[in-house]
């Protein structure tokens, strides 16, 4: 039981970090002044999305 609780806690902590990064990236995208800046932030957002998907797949 403790092991499972530890795994869930670790999963939620990692997910929380990714959500915080995505929130930061969304703010950065809204504030971006050039299309190249928006493109860079978009690529970062896609990377975060991929990492979240991997985390969820590994948890399933």
Q: Provide the residue ranges of all domains of the chain, joining segments of one domain with +.
A: 2-59
CB 18 within 8 A of CB 45: no
Please give the model's pTM, rounded to 2 decimal places: 0.82
The terminus-to-terminus CA distance of the chain in angstroms comes to: 17
Q: What is the DSSP letter of 1?
A: -
pLDDT of residue 59: 83
15: Cβ contacts below 8 Å, ≥ 6 apart: 52, 55
Which among 42, 18, 17 is positioned nearest to 29, based on CA atoms? 42
- 22-58 tens-digit pLDDT: 999 999 999 999 999 999 999 999 999 999 999 999 9
């Amino acid at each position: 039981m403790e092991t499972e609780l530890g795994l869930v806690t670790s999963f939620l902590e990692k997910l929380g970090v990714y959500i915080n990064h995505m929130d930061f990236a969304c703010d950065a995208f809204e504030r971006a002044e050039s299309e190249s800046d928006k493109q860079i932030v978009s690529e970062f957002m896609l990377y975060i999305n991929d990492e979240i998907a991997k985390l969820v797949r590994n948890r399933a």
